[in-house]
Structure 1
Amino acid sequence: GDGQGDGQGDNQIITGGSAFNIKSESLRLGNFRHEDVAVLYAQHTEETGQLFEEGVTANVIDYVFEQTGGQPWLVNALGYEACFRTKENRDRARPITLEIMMGARERLIERRDTHIDQLADKLKEPRVHRVINEMLSDTTGEDATIPEDDLQYVEDLGLIRARPQLAISNPIYREVIPRTLTWTTQVLIPQETVWYIKADGRIDMPKLLSAFQQFFRENGDSWAGRFDYKEAGPQLLMQSFLQRIINGGGRIDREYGLGRRRTDLLVQWPLDQARGFHGPVQRTVIELKILHKSLDTTIKEGLTQTAGYMDRVGADEGYLVIFDRRPDRPWEEKIFSREERHEGRGELRIGVWGM
């Protein structure tokens, strides 16, 4: 077989040296099903004796399938990254745990192999730009008019899936796309992680958001306009700023998409650097919204969404950031921060930041 398969279950896997074939960089291959991923990883175990963690709460195969959506290159690259790239993981007596695989995912995203570079190139194409722009820029969905053939093209590239609803096709791409678009900006932002670390090791989020608010006020329009994806400028700028600070040891997970009217960010920051994600972790939700309706309505809607997301991901802190893009509003009226109480499962305090 050629290792590509056609999604019909007869995916032949290349042997020789490693069960994981990462030669085929192509974006567009038929996706693996869950059982195909399991078979591929079982082949590695058979050849080397190295096991993958298969607990109820921590199942490596489930995680790989969920993160890659079965995209063959990603499935293979994650396996190769976890099992072959670091010396200690080449010790076959050492099982590959969920934590090891999560680290492999981060390195894969950061290293930007050919496959991920191809993805970056595609983002510059006008047809791809039109579709992804709508997904990143917090449009309501009703306003979004994406030509059918553009959608089909981007789906054929494997970047999005149309069912059950329009979404980026897997969590790794969902992470790569904003990072790719913000990379050049991120390196230019003059921010240091240490400025925001409190004595107990936590990140001082209100201090960070105040700094971003000031940065956005001074540079927002000129910087946000630098992105190819201008409509999503404020959200991308916030993500660049955060990424710059969090890159020193934490992770950011993002959720965005057509008709969601918001971008949800989950910032995870290990409090004990030696134990990393095995130890205690500060989990913070930051929701970004563009002001569409009245401020009160936007805040009310945003608080409910932020609280819901906090509940879902088990976060202990939550913030709502509202961008007022109306050109006739002076900054004095846009800039504010206050704490709101939200009654849900118990009372939550959520910081609201306007800019």
Structure 2
Amino acid sequence: MISAGNDKALAGAPAPGRIAQRALLPCPLTPVASTIMQRFFNNAGPIKPEMHYHLPRLQRLDWEEVQQLIREQRYFVLHAPRQTGKTSTLLAMMQALNGCGDHACAYANIEGAQAARGDETQGIPAACEAMVDAIARDTHHPDLLAWYRSNKPETQPQHLLTRLLTQWAATATQPTVLLLDEVDALVGDTLISLLRQIRAGYAQRPESFPQSIVLCGVRDVRDYRLEQEGAQVITGGSAFNIKAESLRMGNFTEAETRALWLQHTEATGQVFDEAIFPDLWEDSRGQPWLVNALGYEVTWKNRAARDRSQPIGLIDYQAARERLIQSRATHLDQLSDKLKESRVRQVVQALLVGEETGLRMPEDDLQYVTDLGLIERKPQLRISNRIYQEVLPRELTSVLQDTLVQQQSWYLNADHSLNMPKLLAAFQQFFREHSDSWSEGFDYKEAAPQLLMQAFLQRIINGGGRLTREYGLGRKRTDLLIEWPLDPEQGMYGPLQRVVIELKLLRGKLDAVIQTGLAQTLDYCRRVGADEAHLVIFNRNPKVSWNKKIWHKPASLEGFSIGVWGA
């Protein structure tokens, strides 16, 4: 280490190469040092209260119920979707329990044991290493670390966890509480062994085993899939039947979502347009990562907004939303990856189509997709929020969008409006040429027409306007809204062309489908204030020729003109 005196000597000496020259450069952080000290929206990792806007962490769950479960010496599960705030809440629980002085509580993240897969000889020691380090750190129990190091070599993995927790409980000065995070990252024999060793010591609590253990992860223990030789064969519930409760952390409420964002206004004086908050709620439905990521995007990634004297308007928010979707952030990528799972596909495909697909949707699968945070089941089955509604179809058709060669100029009128008849006629031809070959091997075959249309439109709209989707089980349609700027200089801040496109599958008589579709299209037009509308009806019958599937005719309902298209 160089002392302050040596620093001065070096500064006055001849510079021995680039290292000394670099020391003379001004610190690049100096001009914005005051900004760095301000709190900001956290979009990665646990909350640090001194750095991040946040809600009271123990407010995220029923803390009184949790305390009662611990008093009753219960073992229970806390689960919630990815990046919902589980770890932040567990850390707050640990701090509160240790702070009261009545318990010795440790938090351990055992995700590192996932690398061992089903090899318990590697997985259990890895999990125990994480636990003993956490216990030594969080409960100031260094003697346990020394005990573990000396006893580990002679202890079989199938007993190592039980012995470790027994030793901790027996030597601690207060009743012990263990918070285990990322438990459902483990698989196979590693997970089975962990659950069974905890169950084996359960009867000895609290004198010789932790008074309470909390298992935390994305899924409830009943849905832990225990892989053996690559096959998912049993669930974790059978290996952990001592669970007293399963607590699920929910999203922020609408009021909490607003309150979190207004912390930025209180801290900086920067004002949000009131029109933002209804959109923020529908876009996120209080999903904590989305709420924070949108806040970070609109207040920092938007460089103009770093001038805190500038108010943030609805258009600024909408631009931030689109940037976030296109960024393919880790959170959104994780959701997209789940689309490959058959259990997820059955549920999501039915929602994209808007009606039952004929595939079974077992209760376990519905609950699994709910636990992942992809869907809501009340008041009706639907994709959780508008951003997920955008991300999922984009991800499913990303390769197609990248390979589509389309020029916006082909579909523009002299006044810069979109020529929708020309655009839809081009889609009919595209669909005729590519639908069969593209859907070959595609997992989401039932939703292929809707997804192809959205991919085609997204390619045209990207970088210019905005495409909004609405769909859900039982609606029997997909609603698309195009918002297109009529003044290129003003962009989305100027006048907009609003076009509704209603997508339906042909089920039953064509005339009846058209009449139902016209009423649905007009209803959607009135809700969103569109001035142009089109109804597209897909005929999936392979026995019908393309010459009969492709057609177009004008229609009207209550004086409103609607173009009707067959595909």
Determine if the TM-score, normalized by the shorter chain, exceeds 0.5: yes
What corresponds to 1:43 in structure 2?
263
> Which residues of 2 match residues 172-187 of structure 1 at below 5 A?
172-187=387-402
Which secondary structure does the structure 2 equivalent of 1:209 belong to? helix
Q: CA deviation at 1:299?
A: 0.8
Aligned to 1:337, the other structure's residue is in SS state: strand
Partner of 1:211: 426
Which residue of 339, 342, 346 maps to 2:557? 342
Of 338, 348, 364, 1:122 maps to 338
- On the 8 A contact 2:270/2:311 being kept in 1, the answer is yes
- Residue equivalent to 1:88: 304
1:327 is matched with which residue? 542
Give the superposition deviation at 1:99.
1.4
Query: Equivalent residue for 2:128?
Result: none
Is 1:224–1:237's contact at 8 Å kept on the other side of the alignment?
no
Decide which moves more: 94-103 or 218-227.
218-227
Deviations 1:108-145 (A, max 9, x none): 0011110111111111111111110111123258x564
The answer to whether 1:66 aligns with 2:295 is: no
Check conservation: 1:287, 1:321, Cα contact below 8 A.
yes
Matches within 5 A, 1:228-267: 228-267=443-482
Match of 2:409 in 1: 194
Q: 2:45 aligns with which of 18, 24, 28?
A: 24
CA gap of 1:226–1:97, structure 2 versus 1, over 3 A, is farther
Residue equivalent to 1:53: 273
Cα distance in 1 for residues equivalent to 2:324 and 2:477? 27
Q: Does 1:111 align with 2:330?
A: no
Report the secondary structure of 2:524's partner residue: helix
Paired letter, 2:45: S
Q: CA offset at residue 95 of structure 1?
A: 1.1
Give me the whole-angstrom Cα distance separating, in 1, the residues matched to 2:38 and 2:349: 41
For these two proteins, the number of residue pairs brought into alignment is: 333
Structure 1: 5+ residue stretches without partners:
1-14
Does 2:523 align with 1:311? no
**Deviation by residue 1:245-270 (Cα, 9 ceiling, x = unmatched):** 01131101111111111111001101
Of Structure 1 and Structure 2, which has the larger fraction of its residues in helix? Answer: 2
C-alpha distance 151-27 of structure 1, shift in aligned 2 (>3 A): farther
Q: Secondary structure at the match of 1:231?
A: helix
Give the counterpart of 1:158 among 360, 370, 373: 373
Task: Decide whether the 8 Å contact of 1:289 with 1:302 is kept in 2.
Answer: yes
Residue 564 of structure 2 aligns with an amino acid whose one-letter code is V
Q: Distance in 2 between matches of 1:131 and 1:249?
A: 32
* Pairs within 5 Å for 1:220-299: 220-225=435-440, 227-299=442-514
Query: What secondary structure sits across from 1:274 in the alignment?
Result: coil
Q: Is the 8 A contact 2:302 2:320 kept in 1?
A: no
Distance in 2 (alpha carbons) for counterparts of 1:45 and 1:74 = 19
Partner SS for 2:397: helix
Using the size of structure 2 for normalisation, the TM-score is 0.57
**Partners in 1 of 2:437 and 2:363 — Cα distance?**
33
Listed as ranges, the gaps of 5+ residues in structure 2 are 1-35, 47-81, 86-249
- Separation in 2, partners of 1:285, 1:328: 30
Secondary structure of the structure 2 residue equivalent to 1:269: strand
**2:563 matched residue in structure 1:** 351
Aligned counterparts of 2:463 and 2:273: Cα–Cα separation in 1: 27
* 1:158 Cα deviation from its structure 2 partner: 0.9
State whether residues 19 and 40 of structure 1, in contact with CA within 8 Å, keep that contact through their aligned partners in structure 2. Answer: no
Q: Identify the range of structure 1 (102-111 vs 60-69) with the bigger mean alpha-carbon deviation.
A: 60-69
Structure 2 counterpart of 1:284, which letter?
A: V
CA contact (8 A) 2:481 2:500 kept: yes
2:262, 2:384 → 1: CA distance? 25
